[in-house]
Amino acid sequence: MTVTGKHISVQFNKSALRERNKELAVLLEMSNFLSGTSSRKELLEGALSLVMANFEYHAGRIYLKEENLEYLRLAAYQGLEPLGLERVRIGEGFTGKSAETKSFLAQPVTDLENKARARLLQSKGFLVVVCVPMIVGEEVVGVMNLTSKQVVSLDQNQIDLLITLANTIAINADRLSLYEDLQTKIQELEEKNATLKFFSYSVSHDLKNPAISIHGLTSRLCRLYKSQLDNKGQTYCNLILSLSEQIIALLDEMNAYIKAKESPMAVEKVETKDIIELVRGEFAPALEQRGIQLTVYALLPMISADKLSLTRIFRNLVDNSLKYGGACLTEIQITYQEDPNYHIFSVIDNGVGISAAAQEKICEPFQRDETSRGIDGSGLGLAIVKELTRRHGGTVAVDSQPGKGVSFSITISKSI
């Protein structure tokens, strides 16, 4: 230790620490080992080896409690084959009693209840058996069983240290168990996600051509042979045309949803007023036919965004108003405001609105409000908006009252 004025400098020396305080050195060695281990099996086997080396035990086993809480199952061993003790009932035998009573137990091999086991251990030269409960919180989760070929001198400090080490091992094993379970669940989700992606791509691509063919052939049938069909035949043709159009539209929306989640974004400086004018032009015939006014109540800025995605967002929101606003719809407004972190755009209409229950899930895939019954739609338009907004670092918020219109507000991060 060096003292300079008010400054104290102590250089760490592992060997010196072991000479001064063996208990702390053992704890440090165990802590360093546990922190660098990512496999529960490796952790248990390595930790058991460290305990045996530091306390001069010649064989050891670590048992962990099974989910049914009635048995302990062998998780690691060193120095001696388990020989039929891979599973121990809690409360039975030396190890089972340690788990049941939450107690540190030490006993000469000759005094073991299982005389066959005692004779086997004696034949191998073992003299003493020690059981250390492994505790997480207040619950015993396992037992560390240690055996020695020499007489063991145990004082309270050694017992406390062994219990502390066992509990530390148990806590880290529990942590890794949770981590491994999480990794397994993540892998399962990724596999399911990959299957869903494959299915979605197959549906959106492989079914589209047959649907287009059905629509084309039915259209040709109607055009060339309509006069030869009776009223029922003409009705069937028109129905097939309508349904095939719906299938094609749904497949297009599914493909758009997949692209919204997967396609790379090309972020650039975008004039939002140009995008709004483009969307206004696309819907001009429908707006004019229904006498609906599309008004922009703000000076729209240039922002950093993916142009195609932003266009899709506004197109879907305006289309949503037109589709589901009802006969009372007369105006759609687009507003803009900002805060230090986000651009905030709102598309507001004075249509029929959305029920409170539907607002919580309206932006999820295939969710539609009861007011949309009888209206063609895939249930993916707002889900696409939500996904594209999320990829721009933002969110979608819905505010509506039945009969008083609806407002969809989207945020676009300024830091994208």
pLDDT (0 to 100) of residue 196: 62
Question: CATH number of the domain that 54 lies in?
Answer: 3.30.450.40
More confident residue, 7 or 99: 99
Range of the domain at 133: 13-177
Residue 282 shares a structural domain with residue 382: yes
Residue 156 shares a structural domain with residue 296: no
Task: Tell me if 189 is assigned to some domain.
Answer: no
Task: Tell me if 1 is assigned to some domain.
Answer: no
Residue 328 shares a structural domain with residue 294: yes
Residue 253 shares a structural domain with residue 294: no
The residues, any chain, with a CB within 8 Å of residue 354's CB and separated by 6 or more, are 362, 369, 371, 398, 400, 402, 406
Residue 363 shares a structural domain with residue 327: yes
Task: Tell me if 8 is assigned to some domain.
Answer: no
The residues, any chain, with a CB within 8 Å of residue 92's CB and separated by 6 or more, are none
Residue 93 shares a structural domain with residue 221: no
pLDDT tens digit string along 29-46? 888 888 888 788 899 999
Among 53-57, 82-86, 93-97, the least confident range: 82-86
Pairing relationship of beta strands 59-65 and 139-148 according to DSSP bridges: antiparallel
Task: Tell me if 400 is assigned to some domain.
Answer: yes
Q: Is residue 159 within 8 Å of 126, Cβ to Cβ?
A: no
pLDDT (0 to 100) of residue 238: 85
Q: Which residue has the tokens 């035990």?
A: 57
CA distance 212 to 64: 61
pLDDT (0 to 100) of residue 375: 54
Domain boundary among 135, 154, 177: 177
pLDDT at 15 over 80: no
| Euclidean distance between the first and the last CA atom of the chain, given in angstroms as a whole number | 52
Question: CATH number of the domain that 303 lies in?
Answer: 3.30.565.10
Task: Tell me if 105 is assigned to some domain.
Answer: yes
Q: At 336, list the tokens.
A: 């803009």
pLDDT at 407 over 80: yes
Q: At 318, list the tokens.
A: 């305006």
Domain boundary among 154, 177, 200: 177
pLDDT at 302 over 70: yes
Angstrom CA distances, 184 to 36, 66, 74, stand at 20, 19, 22
Domain boundary among 244, 260, 276: 260
pLDDT at 287 over 80: yes
pLDDT, average across residues 374-398: 81
Q: Which residue has the tokens 């529990």?
A: 174
Residue 147 shares a structural domain with residue 245: no
Task: Tell me if 2 is assigned to some domain.
Answer: no
**Dihedral in degrees, nearest 10, Cα atoms 309, 313, 315, 317:** 170
pLDDT at 3 over 60: no
Chain-wide mean pLDDT for the chain?
A: 85
Task: Tell me if 202 is assigned to some domain.
Answer: no
pLDDT, average across residues 338-346: 94
Residue 141 shares a structural domain with residue 222: no
Q: At 3, list the tokens.
A: 């003292």
**Dihedral in degrees, nearest 10, Cα atoms 61, 65, 71, 72:** 0
Give pTM, 2 decimals. 0.51
Task: Tell me if 203 is assigned to some domain.
Answer: no
pLDDT tens digit string along 147-195? 999 988 888 988 999 999 999 999 988 888 888 888 888 888 777 776 6
Domains of the chain: total: 3
Confidence label for 368 from pLDDT (cuts 50, 70 and 90): low
Residue 153 shares a structural domain with residue 44: yes
Confidence label for 204 from pLDDT (cuts 50, 70 and 90): low
pLDDT at 93 over 90: no
pLDDT, average across residues 385-404: 89
Residue 132 shares a structural domain with residue 212: no
Residue 117 shares a structural domain with residue 256: no
pLDDT (0 to 100) of residue 151: 87
Q: Which residue has the tokens 């008010």?
A: 6
CA distance 128 to 105: 11
**Helix spans in 102-139 (H):** 115-123
Q: Is residue 95 within 8 Å of 77, Cβ to Cβ?
A: no
More confident residue, 8 or 266: 266
pLDDT at 367 over 80: no
Residue 275 shares a structural domain with residue 247: no
Confidence label for 106 from pLDDT (cuts 50, 70 and 90): very high
pLDDT (0 to 100) of residue 4: 56
